[in-house]
């Protein structure tokens, strides 16, 4: 396929490089001038999108997605697919999909899970919203960039799945960190805590696969000074999107709201920027009941 890739940051660049390595003709554009291995360079988004079978975007937020879509959709050929892999608000995803449909294009919102390591290794999971036809056209690309692509329904549902998943992740990580800090103060060793919880009813991905306590369980960012695998500020962004969606849908999400408040304090007031989201554990270690 002829592919345009707009947004060659930490995630986009390795994703584009993997498509090129697989034999696709990939042309990239990044507003900051970033490039990717094996990927051609265009002078603008519309130039990259002209004649492309699929235009992939990996962008920071919904406002930028709307702006880029307004530029590239007029340059795209009828029948082409606009595949957005950014994590944005559901409303923006659906607005862009409507704009694409009016221009005779397919549209998919396909946010990812797996981080920079998954982007580099081609092991991302894609949560995809959009038509069956557009999903079928993009499927071979998902197979190159990732290990799994789940079609979640119509446009916007990919974003809905991502923010619901990450709301659970944010809440369970906080609970896991709270429990380790409590165990410390009760004189329970972290190894004993892990051995019990990881095989009992409190087990979770946050405990079993991404344990926030260094030296316990499989290797995780906690074992590397909390250098981010998933930065706290990205968790804050996703929790913000979850609560924006909850407000729009009139959904009661008190745990999601409280997780947002805690991560906001951690990132904005407590030095959490640039640290992994599991660095909530040393935060709780230092705090007392008051």
Q: How large is the average pLDDT for residues 122-139? A: 97
Give the model's pLDDT for residue 116: 87
Q: 2, 21, 137, 162: which is the annotated catalytic residue? A: 162
Please tell me the distance from the alpha carbon of residue 199 to that of residue 184, in angstroms, as a whole number: 19
pLDDT at 290 exceeding the cut of 80: no
DSSP characters for 88-136?
--HHHHHHHHHHHHHTT-EEEE--EESHHHHHHHT-EEEEEEE-HHHHH
CATH topology of domain 2-154: Rossmann fold (3.40.50)
209 CB-near residues (< 8 Å, 6+ apart): 217, 218, 220
Strands (E), 111-202: 112-113, 124-130, 146-153
Domains in the chain: boundaries: 2-154, 160-286
Element (H, E) at 276: none
- The vertex-54 CA angle with 146 and 229, nearest 5°, equals 30
Q: Is 227 a catalytic residue?
A: no
CATH topology of domain 160-286: 1.10.1040
pLDDT at 198 exceeding the cut of 90: yes
Q: Name the residue among 91, 253, 89 with its Cα closest to residue 163.
A: 89
Give the model's pLDDT for residue 270: 97
The full length of the chain comes to 290
**Would the CATH topology of 2-154 be identical to that of 160-286?**
no
Using DSSP bridges, classify how beta strands 40-41 and 124-130 pair: parallel, antiparallel or unpaired.
unpaired
Q: Are 14 and 120 in contact (CB under 8 A)?
A: yes
pLDDT, tens only, 72-118:
999 999 999 999 999 999 999 999 999 999 999 999 999 999 888 89
pLDDT, tens only, 139-153:
999 999 999 999 999
Q: Which residue has the tokens 């549902």?
A: 157
Local structure of residue 213 (DSSP, 8 states): S
Burial label for 199, CB within 10 Å (0-12, 13-18, 19+), is exposed
Give the model's pLDDT for residue 212: 98
Q: Are 231 and 267 in contact (CB under 8 A)?
A: no
pLDDT, tens only, 23-74:
999 999 999 999 999 999 999 999 999 999 999 999 999 999 999 999 999 9
| Mean confidence (pLDDT) of the chain | 97
Please tell me the distance from the alpha carbon of residue 158 to that of residue 26, in angstroms, as a whole number: 24
Q: Name the residue among 94, 225, 226, 244 with its Cα closest to residue 167.
A: 244
How far, in Å, are 16, 140, 146 from residue 76 at the CA level?
19, 20, 25
Give the model's pLDDT for residue 115: 86
Other CB atoms within 10 A of residue 110 CB: 31
Q: Hey, which residues does 231 pair with through a beta bridge?
A: 276
Q: Hey, which residues does 27 pair with through a beta bridge?
A: 4, 40
pLDDT, tens only, 220-252:
999 999 999 899 999 999 999 999 999 999 999
Give the model's pLDDT for residue 252: 98
pLDDT, tens only, 1-11:
999 999 999 99
């Amino acid at each position: 396929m002829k592919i345009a890739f707009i947004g060659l940051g930490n995630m986009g660049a390795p994703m584009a490089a993997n498509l090129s390595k697989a034999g696709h003709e990939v042309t990239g554009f990044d507003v900051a001038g970033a490039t990717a291995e094996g990927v051609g360079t265009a002078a603008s988004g519309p130039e990259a999108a002209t004649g492309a079978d699929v235009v992939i975007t990996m962008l920071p937020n919904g406002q930028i997605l709307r702006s880029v879509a307004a530029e590239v959709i007029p340059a795209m050929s009828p029948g082409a697919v606009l595949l957005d892999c950014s994590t944005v608000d559901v409303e923006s995803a659906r607005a862009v999909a409507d704009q694409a449909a009016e221009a005779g294009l397919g549209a998919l919102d396909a946010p990812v899970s797996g981080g920079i390591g998954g982007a580099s290794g081609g092991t991302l999971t894609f949560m995809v919203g959009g038509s069956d036809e557009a999903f079928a056209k993009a499927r071979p690309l998902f197979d190159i960039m990732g290990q799994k692509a789940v079609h979640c329904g119509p446009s916007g549902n990919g974003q809905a799945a991502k923010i619901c998943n990450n709301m659970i992740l944010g809440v369970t990580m906080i609970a896991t960190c709270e429990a380790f800090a409590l165990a410390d103060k009760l004189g329970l060793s972290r190894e004993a805590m892990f051995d019990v919880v990881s095989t009992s009813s409190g087990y979770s991905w946050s405990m079993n696969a991404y344990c926030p306590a260094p030296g316990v369980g499989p290797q995780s960012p906690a074992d590397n000074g909390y250098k981010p695998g998933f930065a706290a500020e990205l968790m804050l962004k996703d929790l913000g999107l979850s609560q924006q969606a909850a407000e729009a849908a009139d959904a009661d999400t008190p745990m999601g709201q409280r997780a947002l408040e805690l991560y906001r304090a951690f990132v904005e007031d407590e030095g959490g920027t640039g640290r992994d989201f599991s660095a909530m554990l040393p935060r709780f270690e230092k705090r007392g009941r008051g």
